[in-house]
Every structure is written in C-alpha cells, then in structure tokens.
Amino acid sequence: MERDSISPEAEVNVPLELSVEEMIEQSIGVVNWTQILQAVLVSLQTFFDSQQTFISIFAHAQPTWHCTTNNKACTSRSNLCELTKTDWAWDSGNVHTSVISEWNLECTSSVFASMPATSYFVGSLLGGLVLAALGDSSLGRKNLLCISTLVMSLTALASAFSPNIWVYSIFRFLCGIGRAPLAICVLVLVTERVSRKWRPQAVMAGFIFLSLGMMGLTGIAFLNKGASWRSLYIWTSVPGIISSVLCYVFLYESPRWLLMQGREKDAMAVLRALGSITSIGTSLPKINTEQKLPKTNPFISLKILLSRRWAVKRLLASMLLAFGIGVMYFGMFLGVGNLGFDIYLTSVFNASLSLSSYMLAFLWWIQHCNRRSSLLGFCTISGAACIIFSVVGKGHKGVLIGLELTSLFCACMAFNVLLMYMVELFPTCVRNTGSSLVRQAMILGSAFDPMLVLLGNKSIIYSYGTFGLAMLLSGVLALSLPETRGKVLCDTMEEQELMDQERKLIP
C-alpha cells in the first residue's frame, strides 16, 4: 500500500546510484564514427612505437661482405675476425649502411655491439617503472600518451646525428624511456572509452597499427637500401612528432579516469561527445567513486596496488608470465637475421603473420575463448616448436620455416591475449599502474634479446633455444591467474575484492 501512495513524479526524481561501468554502458553502448576516429587516432601511436622498437633489425644489421684477395684462407664461410682488413670488404661501398660497419663493431664483443639496442629496452624498463603511475594520477591517459610519443620521436630524431656509439646508446636509452608508457596508454585509453561489447575490436586497432608500423619500417628500409642508417631515424621520427601534436589537439581523455579524479563535468562532456545518446541528462547523477586518487601523490596508485595481498600475487604471476613472453616475442622479430633468409622479405612475412594473429585474436578468439587456457596452450606450443627448430638448425630449411612460423604465430597469439588479459586483471584506480608493471616485465625480458640475437650468429640454439625455454616455463604461470573473459571492469579495489569473493578467488 505504501508503494501505491508514491506518485510517478516522486519516483522519477529519486536519485539513481550509478557505477562508472553502468554510465559507460548507458552512454556509449553503441559505436559511432566519433568513437571509431578516436580509436584510430589513439592506436596510430603504436605505428611509430613499433618502428622504433624494431628499427635495429635494419640499422644494426650485419652487412654482407666479399673477399678482395686471392688468399685461400678467405672464403664465404670464413670467420671475418680471423682475416686481415685487406682480405675482405663490405659488399656495399657505403660503410654507413649499418651501425656495425660505420663504427667497426663486427669483431667486438656481443655485449658491446648490442649496447644501443639493449639501452633502448633498458630505458623502456626504467621509464615504465617511473612514468607508469602518472597515467593513473596527475597526467592522465591522454597527456601521458602525447608526451610519450613526442619524447620518443624527438630522441629518435636526435639518434640520427650521433657521432659515436656512446652518444647513440644514450639517445636510444632516452628514446626507450619516452616510449615506455605508450603502448599501455593506448591499450587503457581505448579500453576505457568503449562498452564491454566492443572492447576487443577497439583494442585490435592498436595491434593492426603495430603490424603496419613494422611493414612501413621494412618498406622505408628497403627504399633506403644502400643509404645511411641515419635516414631510417629521420623518416620514422618526423611523422611521430606530427602525430603527437595532433593527439594533443584532437584526442579526448578517458571518462573513467576523469570520474576517478572527481572531474564529473569533464567526464560527462566526454561521454556526450563520444556517446551515441547525446542527451545523457542535464544534471549529473550520483556516481560511485569511493577511491579517488589524491592528486598530490602521483604514485599513490602503486601504493594502493601493493597494499592488497591478492593484488601482489596477481601482479607477480602476471609479470613472470610477461617476462617469458617478452623474451620470446621480441626475440623472434629481432632475430630474423639468424635464420639465413632475406631480412626484408622475412620481416614483411613476420609482420603479416602477426597481423593475421591480431585479426584472429580480437575478432574471434578473445570473445569466445578463456584467457588462462589460451595462454597456457600458446606458450607451450610456441616454446616447444622454437626449441625443436633451434636444435634442428639451419640445415633443414623446410622444417625450420614450418616450425619458425608455428612458433611465431603462437607467440603473437600469446602476446595478444596477455595484453588484453592484463587490462582486465586490475581495477580502474590502478589499471594503468598494474598493466604498466606487467608490460615492464615483458620489456625486461626483451632487454636480453639483442645480446642473444648476436650470440645466435654463431649458433641459433643460443638465441632461439633460449627464447623457447623462457616461453615454455613461463606459460605454466597462467594457471595461477583468475579467468576474466566476459567480466565487468571494476573501478575500485573494494569492487574487485567483492567480485573475486563472490567467485571464491580470494578468501
């Protein structure tokens, strides 16, 4: 009876309690052209990130050489370092085609010769540890993405004017620091601005640009074949600088992050700009944001993340898993010169294979398959295939190609699933920090790849054997992580704990 006494007008005026997830689903549940263009603009930054990550394939390539005397000790299979300088010469008359030939690194130790490439990945590791939390606190996703692209591109441009390997390594280190938060910012920003239904397709755009970036790099390298390696940095860095400016002018911030910062009006403005329903309301509903991050401490999100025992366990397991995948994934691309095939053709083929894996992963696999079992399966197959063909060696090219393609495809699929998985493992208040730490573990694994690739010039078991072993061992850790397919993205640690308790994942 009391229910019947309440007028319809009174019911309408009762304030509704909305979560951030409900607000997102209500306002941008249907994809429109604004959301598509914003996703493309965000994802475009991975195009330039990919080029700077894999540019060492061509800039640091070992040039081909030929004998210049009738010395019987000089043959195509001779050890270059055991010959005198007068017995051989580079096939290209231009010694500036590679860092190796310009600075006479062909006979130096693997540690010294790989120093510029390793410096890049070490910079990425340190930069991620320092800058990751800024995306959750003071800077936000958009500003951190723009700064990351700009710093990466400017230092890449400066690399083109390096007078020696020491200065060059410093610029590569700074470039790595700059690009460290880029990939995570893209992933988080795209994920947080679309509804749950369209999340995999939106994320896929970043991976497509990642493959296109590598293809573009291969094309630039082929067109500049025989020219200085410095031209590669100029052609790949200038467009990145322009892109960072366009991002700053036209890109919208994540409405989830704005809400967690208490900027409800700004968040509603973004939701109206992105949403298919333009009239969300003239007054702001009451939104649950119990865990807003203090602006005075940019690293408070890290403290919040480490304050929960379940979060620390989840973080450590996902980081160790990412480490093994990082060793394998980046090593497979950087080590194409060890296989004895044309690096331009092989790079294009590898990029095409990774592109097909992205399409499969985000158009079908992620929507229909569990994260844990997928990671376990792909890591096992990829690691085992890599170990087998590293033992078989270069003498069986047919077997080598088949196993290499199988291993690479499964490594790409594991990489795809992991990047989607780590965004879903952590709530909004610490998502950028948690995802970045997992990403940094992946970068730590890749930091060993340049040296392993150079060791692989002697025997591929040193490179690909190590890649496969790391992948095989790390895949088991997927079993210790919770399944997240089809689950909502929680916003606070309390919401995540409540959901996990309901699923009996934590006591």
Instruction: Identify which has the larger pLDDT, 308 or 202.
Output: 308
Q: pLDDT band for 406, please (50, 70, 90 cuts).
A: very high
Instruction: Identify which has the larger pLDDT, 183 or 411.
Output: 411
pLDDT of residue 297: 57
What is the mean pLDDT of the segment spanning 3-14?
40
pLDDT of residue 296: 47
Lowest mean pLDDT among 219-228, 384-393, 396-405, 447-456: 396-405
Helix axes 182-191, 165-179, angle to 10 degrees: 20
Instruction: Identify which has the larger pLDDT, 47 or 437.
Output: 47
Task: Inform me whether the pLDDT recorded for 282 exceeds 50.
Answer: no
Residues 119-145 as b or e (16 or more Cβ within 10 Å = b): bbbbbbbbbbbebbbbbbbbbbbbbbb
DSSP at 284: P
Sign of the Cα pseudo-torsion (22, 24, 28, 29, in order): negative
**Could you report the per-residue pLDDT of 153-195, keeping only the tens digit for each?**
999 999 999 999 999 999 999 999 999 889 888 888 887 777 7
Instruction: Identify which has the larger pLDDT, 373 or 69.
Output: 373
The C-alpha atoms of residue 184 and residue 127 are separated, in whole angstroms, by 12
Q: Tokens representing 470? A: 């790391």
pLDDT of residue 16: 46
Lowest mean pLDDT among 38-52, 123-137, 257-271, 343-357: 123-137
What is the mean pLDDT of the segment spanning 301-318?
89
Q: Do 65 and 80 meet the contact criterion of CB atoms below 8 Å apart?
A: yes
The C-alpha atoms of residue 189 and residue 92 are separated, in whole angstroms, by 45
pLDDT of residue 299: 66
pLDDT of residue 17: 52
Type of residue numbered 505: L
The C-alpha atoms of residue 349 and residue 343 are separated, in whole angstroms, by 10
Q: What are the angstrom distances between the C-alpha of 131 and each of 111, 120, 181, 294, 431?
A: 27, 16, 7, 17, 14
pLDDT of residue 48: 96
Q: Output the average pLDDT for the chain.
A: 83
Side-chain half-sphere of 12: how many Cα atoms within 13 Å?
Answer: 4
What is the mean pLDDT of the segment spanning 473-477?
93
Task: Inform me whether the pLDDT recorded for 135 exceeds 50.
Answer: yes
Helix axes 165-179, 115-131, angle to 10 degrees: 30
pLDDT of residue 410: 95
CA neighbor of 411 nearest in space, from 323, 332, 318, 478: 332
Give the predicted TM-score (pTM) of the model. 0.79
Give the DSSP letter string of 289-332: -TTPPPTT-TTHHHHHHHT-HHHHHHHHHHHHHHHHHHHHHHHH
Q: Please, what is the Cα angle at 383 between 330 and 331, to 5 degrees?
A: 15
CA neighbor of 326 nearest in space, from 464, 444, 463: 444
Q: Do 506 and 497 meet the contact criterion of CB atoms below 8 Å apart?
A: yes
Place of tokens 């399966």: 377
What is the mean pLDDT of the segment spanning 285-300?
52
The C-alpha atoms of residue 363 and residue 226 are separated, in whole angstroms, by 40
Lowest mean pLDDT among 40-44, 231-235, 422-426, 456-460: 456-460
Radius of gyration from C-alpha coordinates of the chain: 25
Max distance between CA atoms of the chain, in angstroms, equals 109
pLDDT of residue 8: 41
What is the mean pLDDT of the segment spanning 322-343?
87
Q: pLDDT band for 455, please (50, 70, 90 cuts).
A: confident
The C-alpha atoms of residue 407 and residue 335 are separated, in whole angstroms, by 13
Task: Inform me whether the pLDDT recorded for 293 exceeds 50.
Answer: no
pLDDT of residue 312: 92
Sign of the Cα pseudo-torsion (3, 5, 8, 11, in order): negative
pLDDT of residue 490: 81
- In angstroms, how far is the first alpha carbon of the chain from the final one? 42
Out of 7-21, 87-101, 140-154, the most confident range is 140-154
Give the DSSP letter string of 366-391: HHHS-HHHHHHHHHHHHHHHHHHHHH
The C-alpha atoms of residue 503 and residue 397 are separated, in whole angstroms, by 49
Q: Tokens representing 501? A: 């308790």
Q: Do 182 and 333 meet the contact criterion of CB atoms below 8 Å apart?
A: no
pLDDT of residue 55: 95
Lowest mean pLDDT among 145-159, 263-277, 308-322, 469-483: 263-277
What is the mean pLDDT of the segment spanning 444-455?
88
Strands 65-67 and 286-287 come out as unpaired
Lowest mean pLDDT among 59-73, 126-140, 409-423: 126-140
CA neighbor of 261 nearest in space, from 283, 234, 212, 294: 294
pLDDT of residue 504: 65
Domains along the sequence of the chain with CATH: 17-62+99-502 (1.20.1250.20), 65-97 (no CATH)
Which distant-in-sequence residues (6+ apart) come within 8 Å of 138 by Cβ? 295, 298
